[in-house]
Structure 1
C-alpha cells in the first residue's frame, strides 16, 4: 500500500492533507522521515505520525463487545452515541455490528469488517441461534413456554415465529433462545402473551458466549475458534 493512502485511512484525512503532513516531516517509516507519499509499505513497515506508531491492518477483524444501555449499533447516528465509541482500533468506522441490539438492550455484540462473515450470522437462511436474559414486568404465565415452542403470532406479521425455547429462572426472569431475528422480536413475543420486557440482555450468538470478564463498554478480539464457528 502507498504511504499516503495508509495515512489517509489511519488518520481519517484526505490524501491532500496526508501529503501536507508528509511535507511537514511529521511521518517516519522504520525510524526515517519520509516526505514522499508514493513510498510503498510492506507488512513489516513501522509507520509513525508525530512519534506515535500507526498499526498496519493485515486482515479482517473480529471483536466481541459488552454493549451498555444508551448506545446504538449503527456506525453513524445523529441523535445517539454508537458502539464505535468503545472500539479503540485503527479505522474503527469500517467495523459494523453483526446483529444489532436496540438502544436499551445490553450484552453481546459482534463487531467486524468481514461482510461475508457477518452475513452468515444475520441471514435468515442460516438460523443462527441467539440467547437472551429477559426481565419481565409481570410473573410469567405457566403456558408461555409451550406457546413459544409452538410459535407466536406477532402483530402485523403473516407467519408464526419459529419455535423458541424458554427456561424460567424466576417468576419474572427467563432465558429465551431464538433462531431468527425479526424486528424487536423478543419484546413483541412477550407483548403477544400479555407481558412486558423491562430489561433485555444478549448472552450468546451461535457458539459465542459473552465473556463474563468484560464490563459494560469493554471488548476483546474473538479467538480463532470463535471466528471459525460461523
Structure 2
C-alpha cells in the first residue's frame, strides 16, 4: 500500500492532507523520514510515527472502554459529555461507532469499532450475545422478583417475553443478571416490570469478555483473543 493511502485509511485526514504531512517530513518509519507519498509499504506489523507519536497500522480498530457515568453514546450529545470526547481525532476520523449503547448514567464495558460487520455480529437480534449487568436497586431484591426475571416479563411497546438468565443477588439490594436481547432501557424496564427500580447500573461483561482491571474512563485496543471473546466464541472468560 502507498504511504499516503495508508495514512488516509488510519484517520489522518484527506489524501491531500496526508500527502502534505509526508512532504513536510512528519512521517518516519523505522526511524527514517519518508518524504515520498508514493512510498510502498509492507503493512505486516507496521509501526510508524507522525510528528513523533508512534502508531501501529490497524486494518480495523476494536476498542474496549470502561465507560464512566455522565457520558452519552452519541456523536451529537446534548446534555452530557460524549464517549467520543475520550478519543483523539485520528480515531474519530476512522468512523468509530459504539457497539450498542449504554445510558449516560450507566457505567461499564462498552465496545467501539469501525468494523461494520463486527458491529452487526454483536448487535443483531438473532445473535443473542449475552451481556452481564450488575445493579443497585431501590428496594431489596426478593426471590419472587428474581423468579419473575428468569421466567420472563412483558415490556410495553415490545413484542415477546424478555427473560434474564443467571439471576443472582450479590447483596440485599444488589443484583446481577444476564440478558440476551438489547432493547431500549431493557434492564431498567425489566426491574420496573417486577416492581423494583434500578438505582445504578453497570455492564460487567459482553459475551465472554469481562471487565476486570480496566479503570473507569480508560480504554484499550482489543487483541484477537479478546475480539473473539466479545463474540461469545470461546467457552472460557477473557478478562480485561
TM > 0.5 between the two?
yes
**Aligned equivalent of 1:199:** 200
When normalised by structure 2's length, the TM-score is 0.80
Q: Which moved more, 1:215-224 or 1:118-127?
A: 215-224
Looking at CA atoms only, which structure, 1 or 2, has the larger radius of gyration? 1
Q: How does 1:165-176 map to 2 (within 5 A)?
A: 165-176=166-177
When normalised by structure 1's length, the TM-score is 0.83
**Aligned equivalent of 2:190:** 189
What whole-Å deviation, never above 9, does each CA across 1:6-34 have from its counterpart, x for those lacking one?
A: 33444633233333344444444554544
**Aligned equivalent of 1:108:** 109
Q: How does 1:113-152 map to 2 (within 5 A)?
A: 113-152=114-153
Relative distance call for 1:17 and 1:144 in structure 2 (3 A) is same
Ranges in structure 1 where 5+ consecutive residues have no aligned partner:
none
**Aligned equivalent of 1:69:** 69
Q: Which moved more, 1:195-204 or 1:41-50?
A: 41-50
What whole-Å deviation, never above 9, does each CA across 1:77-116 have from its counterpart, x for those lacking one?
A: 2434332333469534433322321111001112333332
Q: Which moved more, 1:168-177 or 1:154-163?
A: 154-163
Distance, in Å, in 1 between the alignment partners of 2:221 and 2:22 is: 32
What whole-Å deviation, never above 9, does each CA across 1:106-154 have from its counterpart, x for those lacking one?
A: 0111233333233222111121111111111122344111111221011
Relative distance call for 1:47 and 1:166 in structure 2 (3 A) is closer
**Aligned equivalent of 2:91:** 91
Relative distance call for 1:57 and 1:89 in structure 2 (3 A) is farther
Between the two proteins, the alignment pairs up a number of residues equal to 227
Distance, in Å, in 2 between the alignment partners of 1:68 and 1:61 is: 21
The alignment partner of 2:175 has SS state of strand
Relative distance call for 1:171 and 1:90 in structure 2 (3 A) is same
Relative distance call for 1:53 and 1:6 in structure 2 (3 A) is farther
User: Cα RMSD over matched residues?
Assistant: 2.7
Ranges in structure 2 where 5+ consecutive residues have no aligned partner:
232-240
Q: Which moved more, 1:135-144 or 1:182-191?
A: 135-144
